[in-house]
Amino acid sequence: MNELNTPMQLKDRFGRIVNYLRVSITDRCDFRCQYCMTEKMVFQPRHHILSLEEIQFICQAFIELGVVKIRITGGEPLVRQGVIGLLQKLGQIPGLAELVMTSNASQLATMAYDIKSAGVKRINISLDTLDPAKFKVLTRTGDIEQVLLGINAALAVGFEKLKINTVLLNDHNRDEICDLVDFVVERGMDISFIEEMPLGVLTNRNRGESFYPGSKIKQDLQSRFGLEELPGDKLGGPSVYFQVAGTQSRVGLITPHSANFCSTCNRVRLTAEGRLLLCLGNEDSVDLKAVIRQHPGDMAMLKQVIADAMLIKPEKHEFNLFEKPIIMRYMNTSGG
């Protein structure tokens, strides 16, 4: 029991407070992005995936344990049937300060209003290029015009903030860095450039050759824009942020390779099949699906398992682009 009604907190063995949960509600997606999954991806059968009720129950446990921010991810979360109802229920749980989402925007043209009405405050939108031909190559199946319609719809309904997430690949889109910043500045959005993470085996390209470090991204931006460094996100995100001078837009750099940010990690991930991943770059995990299916409705047991899991959260990840990946799961199965 907590004395004096002090809010519960999840703390790992390195003293880091875990108050942020990323929840993958599906491993499925209507795109097949090259860095996220294989072209002929085999998705999990339905009975392996958590039900929406199970997801809500697990999120309730985390919130009671001090989690104040939940991000709904995929795959593409908006292809999951019933997602709006889930968002509505999560948004009503006392103690949750922020309900946010990551999406590829393919469904936003018709769903943006309902998502905001359900309580989602902010959306991160994956967009790696503004060139229709390159977009088709990178996503294999995507239509950039549908994505742009989705972004416009999200802007129209007035989310607190919209942010573009761009995975920078040296041999694909590094020449668009400044164009992408112009795109967000014109719309009052933010953008984060992300170094690719070596998850899953690729057969069509070499990750080492595709790697483009955050330091070079910053140099490219400084040649065109004035950048003013800002403190990190108040909820402990991995980005180093810069204000684009004279605008309302921020540029973030997420650098899992060149500038490890693990010392301030405050997040864990729940995969669509119910694994609690303690680190994106390690396989340390706990099977929460087994717990809730073997002990249905037992909130106390679930919370104890989650609290105990913090003891195996690793100190940091170790990525090496020039070796075979140590993490065989693809990004779409890891929770965005």
Percent of the chain at pLDDT > 90 equals 63
Residues 39, 214: Cα–Cα separation, whole Å: 27
Instruction: Identify the pLDDT of residue 325.
Output: 47
Does CATH place domain 3-334 in 3.20.20.70? yes
Instruction: Identify the pLDDT of residue 336.
Output: 58
Mean pLDDT rounded to a whole number for the chain? 86
Structure tokens at 206: 């070499």
Is residue 2 scored above 60 in pLDDT? Answer: no
pTM of the model: 0.87
- Which tens digits make up the pLDDT trace of 85-98? 999 999 999 999 99
More confident residue, 57 or 281: 57
Structure tokens at 115: 């998502």
Q: Is 146 exposed, middle or buried (0-12, 13-18, 19+ CB in 10 A)?
A: middle
Instruction: Identify the pLDDT of residue 229.
Output: 84
DSSP-assigned states of every residue in 100-131: EEEE-STTHHHHHHHHHHTT--EEEEE---S-
- Which tens digits make up the pLDDT trace of 41-51? 666 788 899 99
Residues 133, 144: Cα–Cα separation, whole Å: 9
DSSP H or E run through 242: strand 240-244
Residues 200, 330: Cα–Cα separation, whole Å: 4
